[in-house]
Structure 1
């Protein structure tokens, strides 16, 4: 997700992250292994506006690559 750096959070345990950051971690974990198809149920719930827009752009790009439907 462009614009969101995880490097500053690498030493933090996921349990200590905010809900929005946990959602980001979940999405990264889901796409890390480049699945052929990814089903997302309300992926933008609990994230701020900037992250929501970044997620929508990412999902559109994945759709172009045949991984997701938008």
Structure 2
């Protein structure tokens, strides 16, 4: 996933910034600034969160199911 698409998708999910998304999944806020392309494990979380939002499932349930603290 390209960074531009990542930024667009996290906003669609409901996060105001990369920092707020990072903090919500338990990674350093600066993590995404170093990536040119988003790693596949983060891409999976983003895609699942987007599907959940479209189906009315809270992001917290996705975090719980994926065991994200």
* Interval containing the TM-score (normalised by the shorter chain): 0.3 to 0.5
Larger fraction in helix: 2
Q: Which has the larger radius of gyration?
A: 1
- TM-score of the two chains, using structure 1 as the length reference: 0.32
- TM-score of the two chains, using structure 2 as the length reference: 0.32
